[in-house]
Amino acid sequence: CLWSYSNDSNSIKVFVRVRPLTQGTGLTTDGDNNLCLKVTSPNTIRLLSKPEPRTFTYDHVADMDTSQDAVFSSVAKNIVESCMNGYNGTIFAYGQTGSGKTFTMLGPSELDNFTHELRGVIPRSFEYLFFLINREADRSKSFLCKCSFIEIYNEQIYDLLDTASASLFVRENIKKGVFVEGAVEKFVNSAAEAYQVLSMGWRNRRVASTSMNRESSRSHAVFSMSLESKESVNEVVNIRTSQLNLVDLAGSERQKDTHTEGSRLKEASSINRSLMCLGQVIMALVDVSNGKNRHICYRDSKLTFLLRDSLGGNAKTYIIANVHPGSRCFGETLSTLHFAQRAKLIKNKAVINEDTHGNVK
Amino acid sequence: MASLSNSGWRDVCDKFKNAQTLSCEESLKDPVNDPYRSKYKARELIREIHYGQRDELFTDGLCGESPPGMLTAKLAAVEFYLGVNHAETEELSAGHEHLMNCVMLLERCRVSSENVSLSIHVRNELGIMWTRRDEAEKALQFLETAEFIYQRYMKEDGSPPMDKIEYFTTEEKLLTDQERTEKFEFIYTYTKYYLAQVYKIVGETERAATYCHNTLQRLLPLKQFNRMEWALNAATLSQYYISKGQFMEGRHCLSAASVILGLAEVPSEAAAQETSEQREKNRMQSAHISRCWIKYCLNLLEDAKKLLEDNTGELDTDRQDELKRERTLGEEEEVKSRKSALLFGSEDTFDSIASLEEKVPCLFPLDFSEARAVFLVGQNHVKEAKEYFQMEGHVTDHVEILQDHSALFRTLAFFEEDLEARCKMHKRRIDMMEPVCNELNAQYYLMIRRQLMFELAEIYNEMMDLKMIRANTQADTQSLDKHSIKKINHLCSSAVKYFHMFLDSLRSPDGKFPEKMEEDVLRPALVARFRMARLYSKLICSLPSAQLENLNKALDNYTCITQYCEEHPEAAAAVETELELSKEMVELLPFKINRLKVAMVANN
């Protein structure tokens, strides 16, 4: 028959990681060793909420003792392999400030030493990608790898590889898809080179946060590698491109600024701001009417627009939700776990319009 | 006021002014680790005023202009400020208590010009407070009362009332009547705006929409809003109305949006770069509003089509006559009466909005010429929108506009009785979409391409049907001329080609079909199979062997559907009719195939 077997769900996967309880993160008070959660199996976590504890289920839950290598193996290994085969892949890190996002993605803060056994998902991804490239490259097959590194702050886009540039625009091209116009692209030939580009951008991000008042906990950083492979088979040249995005999202406790929490009223402190909010109210009303052809004038956020490919369709996406086990963080942890559950449902869908009429003759 | 010495009163006024400054301006600069420092300082100052006032109050507080009445109002004002301050510093229950004290003090007096504004204000605040506690019903009570108080005051008195900042203001700083009126109208606008939100929370969408509408309407004469935002909000509201089938309201919102956006001036004193940015933004918003107009026209045509079509999707002329008769009988009247209920506009925009409205129909078009009038408005906005959302730079938006344009043609074709002309319209759709579909990067625009491929397949399918009908009316198929056969077969194979492309887009990179299809592609994929099966059996072949091959392909596709639904019973619901017919065809086709085989052997 024309339907054959293949089992490859493209939905977004979620990996929850619990950081160890250490002092000095500002999230625990000395001597406060009360935990608000418990990892009950490799894919469930129990939150000790009142009156009833709640259990959440994810694709994977990693407890405090999980090694960096184990995180890489479950989250990124498969995505990097898919990139070699022409899929786009994205890894998001989400969680409150201090929950271990940067540690998970990069590793300990002494950035220049990337052979450290505690190095994070990103350096390991570089290594693995170039390991695969070197294994596959030969006379008939060649690879080209480019990196860019941008930051989204307050709905403005900044190039972390070119600090002199003003804010940039997201644009689309019929062949290239979505791209940031004018963003610097650096060619890299090895994991070490890729890592150098990353470190430079990361340093610039820190500089920007002090000198330009761009608080990094409020910004999203997006590191993208585009991979092009060229294969000549009997005079026919096959070119495949794919993109790997590594995203450090703004601290989840900052999301409150942008999300409407619960059902709080928007207060009309100034009439202009209130008009913005009125727009949100109306939008929610329009959204209720399902299945009707309508146009919403308000744009997606820059981040979702830029990563549209990652949200459904032909991409593989992993979200690493980092949580802190201390009881002081209960509220944030709960909202992170909720977010991670909602993320499972995100999917870009293509609504196919049929010319339905009765001619099923 | 009277019993206080002048210098004493001046002190009170200074305290009050300091408290205001601390609360509104200084508090913005408070450090992160001590966020309410200024608010607490302000609270202390208000408390001091409070004690002073309480000592003054030695009567029950009568009404009107008498000093004791005024004192009550002042006391209420202090309670109000304390309430808001506590609410702002996360002490909700203390805040609630103060706000309720304010309500109680004011209750003793009828709604008078000294305290009507405060009465509404305090209820706005209580509305905010109760929604913060997730008690929308309680919030509604307060806000609805606020609304009632305003309306009653305007009916009974209507003079410019005192504002809450005037209770502790020295004589020379009192507001003018115009300032008082403006502030009062603003406070009531907030009431409307909070009501809009709370109605949304409790799920009364229709009411919420009405209140959003009210809020926009009330902002218009106040001239203190961002026009671009206003226009965008009105345009968004139009989308709510059209999705509810209220085209007259939708049209009104859109006309207002277009007019107001047209007024948006670029500030002349701004820097040159900023003005160009401003202009660019204006162009974008204008294109967005055009896109809302396109949806308006499209929905108006599509809803009219639904009213007029029979069960084969063709125009039902009896229904058409009936609707035309109904229309002359009084639909116009109803529209007039509804219209008076929702007019936007201030003195200087009212006429421009009305004249723009008159250029666009809002009743369902009932024949081709009426449909064409709606179509042309839509097409015009397609042109406008494309000027900003160009393919280079805005691929997704541009393609969405093309899709709408194609849909406009599709619905217009329904009203067209001449088959040849109908075919031409469909051809226009193909010319628009085909090059785009083939140009788009398959990896980055997978979703959009799926939509385009499916649509192209359906257009070819439709055109083939139209050609078939024409051919059959001219002569029977046996004696079809070569040219017609070629034409029909070309349309048929093109439809098959695009359905095939669509199905191929579901394959994984290593070329496998998913064993179980995602919900959003399940029906389209099965329908594509079904259509392909039918197309294969329609292909006109001179060679029996070719016909045999096509019939086998048709059978394969029918079998595919029945098999899939056997393996996934839950899929059957999505393709009920198609599945039933497929089952029949799986039974019948083998006989036909066998007969053909026998005939072929006999002929050889």
Phi, psi for B160 (deg, rounded to 5): -60, 115
Answer whether residue B63 shows pLDDT above 60.
no
What pLDDT, on the 0 to 100 scale, is given for residue B268? 52
Answer whether residue B297 shows pLDDT above 80.
yes
Answer whether residue B394 shows pLDDT above 60.
yes
**Chain A residue whose CA is closest to B186:** A271
Please give the span between the terminal C-alpha atoms of chain A, in angstroms, as a whole number.
24
Residue B452 CA from chain centroid, whole number: 24
Number of Cβ within a 10 Å radius of residue A281: 24
A87's CB contacts (< 8 A; 6+ apart) are A79, A242, A314, A315, A316, B509
What is the number of alpha carbons within 13 Å of residue A326 lying toward its C-beta? Answer: 20
**Chain A residue whose CA is closest to B399:** A174
Counting residues of chain B whose pLDDT is more than 90, the rounded percentage is 57
Among the partner residues B285, B292, B450, nearest to A350 by beta-carbon distance: B450
- The better pLDDT of the pair B304, A240 is held by B304
The packing angle between helices A121-136 and A68-75, to 10°, is 60
Answer whether residue A112 shows pLDDT above 70.
no
Answer whether residue B429 shows pLDDT above 80.
yes
Q: Is the pTM of this model over 0.85?
A: yes
B8 band by pLDDT with thresholds 50, 70 and 90:
confident
What pLDDT, on the 0 to 100 scale, is given for residue B281? 87
Which residues in A lie closer than 8 A to residue B205 (C-beta atoms)?
A: 285, 288
Residue B181 CA from chain centroid, whole number: 33
| Chain segment A16-68, per-residue pLDDT in tens | 999 988 755 555 554 456 778 889 999 999 988 878 889 999 999 999 999 99
Which residues in B lie closer than 8 A to residue A275 (C-beta atoms)?
A: 219, 225-226, 229-230, 233
Residue A143 Ramachandran class (φ > 0 left, ψ -120 to 50 alpha, else beta): beta
Residue B125 to residue B104: CA distance in whole angstroms: 15
Residue B259 to residue B447: CA distance in whole angstroms: 36
What pLDDT, on the 0 to 100 scale, is given for residue A261? 39
H-assigned helices in B539-575: 544-567
What pLDDT, on the 0 to 100 scale, is given for residue B133? 84
**Chain B residue whose CA is closest to A280:** B233
Interchain CB distance below 8 Å, B233 and A282: yes
A327 band by pLDDT with thresholds 50, 70 and 90:
confident
Interchain CB distance below 8 Å, A355 and B243: no
- The better pLDDT of the pair B143, B348 is held by B143
- The better pLDDT of the pair A97, A191 is held by A191
> Which two structure tokens, joined as six digits, stand for A280?
């949100």
What pLDDT, on the 0 to 100 scale, is given for residue A149? 96
- Over chain A, what is the mean pLDDT? 80
B71 band by pLDDT with thresholds 50, 70 and 90:
confident
What pLDDT, on the 0 to 100 scale, is given for residue B120? 95
Number of Cβ within a 10 Å radius of residue B31: 7
> Which two structure tokens, joined as six digits, stand for B356?
């723009």
B124 band by pLDDT with thresholds 50, 70 and 90:
very high
Residue pair A125/A107 in contact (Cβ under 8 Å)? The answer is: no
Residue pair B564/A3 in contact (Cβ under 8 Å)? The answer is: yes
What average pLDDT does range A203-230 have in this prediction? 84
Q: Let me know the angle formed at the C-alpha of A107 by A103 and A109, rounded to the nearest 5 degrees.
A: 90
Rounded alpha-carbon distances, angstroms, from residue A216 to A203, A221, A223, A250, B374 = 11, 9, 15, 7, 51
What average pLDDT does range B226-243 have in this prediction? 91
| Chain segment A148-190, per-residue pLDDT in tens | 999 998 888 999 999 888 889 999 999 888 999 999 999 999 9
Among the partner residues A275, A285, A292, nearest to B200 by beta-carbon distance: A285
Interchain CB distance below 8 Å, A275 and B224: no
What pLDDT, on the 0 to 100 scale, is given for residue A163? 87
DSSP state of B328: I
Among the partner residues A86, A292, A349, nearest to B509 by beta-carbon distance: A86
Q: Let me know the angle formed at the C-alpha of A325 by A323 and A331, rounded to the nearest 5 degrees.
A: 70
Which residues in B lie closer than 8 A to residue A175 (C-beta atoms)?
A: 439, 441
Among the partner residues A3, A279, A292, nearest to B236 by beta-carbon distance: A279
Which residues in A lie closer than 8 A to residue B288 (C-beta atoms)?
A: 295, 297
Residue B354 Ramachandran class (φ > 0 left, ψ -120 to 50 alpha, else beta): alpha
What average pLDDT does range B152-160 have in this prediction? 91
Counting residues of chain B whose pLDDT is more than 70, the rounded percentage is 91
Environment class of B124 (CB within 10 Å of its CB; exposed 0-12, middle 13-18, buried 19+): buried
Question: Distance from B311 to chain A by nearest Cα, in Å?
Answer: 6
Interchain CB distance below 8 Å, B563 and A6: no
Residue B441 Ramachandran class (φ > 0 left, ψ -120 to 50 alpha, else beta): beta
> Which two structure tokens, joined as six digits, stand for B264?
């948006």
Residue pair B153/B111 in contact (Cβ under 8 Å)? The answer is: yes
What pLDDT, on the 0 to 100 scale, is given for residue B32? 64
Residue B459 to residue B491: CA distance in whole angstroms: 9
Phi, psi for B89 (deg, rounded to 5): -105, 30
Answer whether residue A254 shows pLDDT above 60.
no
What pLDDT, on the 0 to 100 scale, is given for residue A336? 86
What pLDDT, on the 0 to 100 scale, is given for residue B354? 87
What average pLDDT does range A336-353 have in this prediction? 74
Among the partner residues B244, B454, B577, nearest to A352 by beta-carbon distance: B454
The packing angle between helices B350-358 and B247-263, to 10°, is 130
- The better pLDDT of the pair B223, B320 is held by B320
B435 band by pLDDT with thresholds 50, 70 and 90:
very high
What average pLDDT does range B484-506 have in this prediction? 94
Interchain CB distance below 8 Å, A4 and B197: no
Residue B402 to residue B386: CA distance in whole angstroms: 9
Rounded alpha-carbon distances, angstroms, from residue B390 to B282, B379, B407, B563, B599 = 16, 16, 19, 45, 58
Phi, psi for A60 (deg, rounded to 5): -160, 140
- The better pLDDT of the pair A31, A116 is held by A116
Counting residues of chain A whose pLDDT is more than 70, the rounded percentage is 78
Query: Which of A255-269, B131-145, B214-228 has the least mean pLDDT?
Result: A255-269
- The better pLDDT of the pair A258, B155 is held by B155
> Which two structure tokens, joined as six digits, stand for B601?
């052997």
Cis status of the peptide bond prior to B590, with omega within 30 of 0:
no
Residue pair B246/B299 in contact (Cβ under 8 Å)? The answer is: no
H-assigned helices in B176-246: 177-201, 205-222, 227-243
- Over chain B, what is the mean pLDDT? 88
Answer whether residue A337 shows pLDDT above 70.
yes
What average pLDDT does range A343-360 have in this prediction? 62
What is the number of alpha carbons within 13 Å of residue B105 lying toward its C-beta? Answer: 28
What pLDDT, on the 0 to 100 scale, is given for residue B269? 55
Interchain CB distance below 8 Å, A285 and B509: no
What pLDDT, on the 0 to 100 scale, is given for residue B418? 93
- The better pLDDT of the pair A289, A331 is held by A331
Q: In what order do the strands lie in the sheet with A54-57?
A: A37-41, A44-47, A54-57
What pLDDT, on the 0 to 100 scale, is given for residue A293? 83
What average pLDDT does range B263-278 have in this prediction? 63
